[in-house]
């Protein structure tokens, strides 16, 4: 789907707050609510907008520690290993990467003890990983789900 400047402006507004009413979006971009609705529907159908979600503070739900985990995958074991990793509770993101690590994962746990259990009892014992390194996140200076749409 080819996006024009109006589509991009609608996406910028919805990225900032997906609950923005179409009437407010329409007012901001000087279009009718019906036109905004049609454009959003078209972007949803084309897969440009993949869904809407609530952003939840991990600490507020008892997940007080987070880490980035680098994993080296054994040759030929990529698919089944990644599928099993995806099923591990606490694994939030899995990224295939270049460089020293084949996979970078972001994990969440209640506390350091729970993180240790997640890494040593669940991840490290999985077949298919040759090596791992866990880097605890001490703080997050910047994090955004908004894409640059200029």
pLDDT at 45 over 90: yes
Report CA Rg, the chain.
20
Q: Is 82 exposed, middle or buried (0-12, 13-18, 19+ CB in 10 A)?
A: middle
Helices first, then strands: H and E counts in the chain: 5, 4
pTM, 2 dp? 0.81
Residue ranges and CATH numbers for the domains of the chain are: 5-45 (1.10.10.10), 58-136 (3.30.70.920)
Q: What does the alpha-carbon distance between residue 131 and residue 143 come to, in Å, rounded to a whole number?
A: 28
8 A C-beta contact, residue 76 and residue 116: no
Tens digit of each residue's pLDDT (9 = 90 or more) over 9-40: 999 999 999 999 999 999 999 999 999 999 99
Mean pLDDT of all residues in 83-97 = 95
Partners of 129 in the beta sheet? 73
In a 3-state reduction of DSSP, which class is residue 73?
strand
Tens digit of each residue's pLDDT (9 = 90 or more) over 103-149: 999 999 999 999 999 999 999 889 899 899 999 999 999 988 888 98
Mean pLDDT of all residues in 48-60 = 93
How many residues does this entry show for the chain?
Answer: 150
The alpha helices in 31-133, defined as continuous H runs, are 33-45, 78-86, 112-117
Backbone phi, psi, residue 93, to 5°: -135, 145
pLDDT at 77 over 90: no
């Amino acid at each position: 789907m080819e996006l024009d400047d109006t589509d991009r402006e609608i996406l910028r507004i919805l990225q900032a707050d997906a609950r923005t009413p179409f009437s407010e979006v329409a007012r901001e971009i000087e279009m009718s609510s019906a036109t905004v609705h049609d454009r959003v529907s078209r972007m949803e159908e084309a897969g440009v907008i993949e869904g809407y979600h609530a952003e939840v503070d991990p600490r507020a739900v008892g997940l007080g520690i987070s880490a980035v985990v680098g994993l080296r995958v054994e040759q030929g074991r990529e698919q089944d290993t990644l599928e099993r990793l995806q099923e591990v509770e606490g694994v939030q993101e899995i990224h295939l990467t270049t460089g020293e690590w084949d996979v970078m994962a972001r994990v969440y746990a209640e506390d350091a003890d729970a993180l240790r259990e997640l890494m040593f009892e669940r991840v490290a014992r999985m077949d298919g990983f040759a090596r791992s390194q866990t880097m605890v996140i001490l703080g997050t200076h910047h994090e955004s789900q908004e894409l640059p749409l200029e």
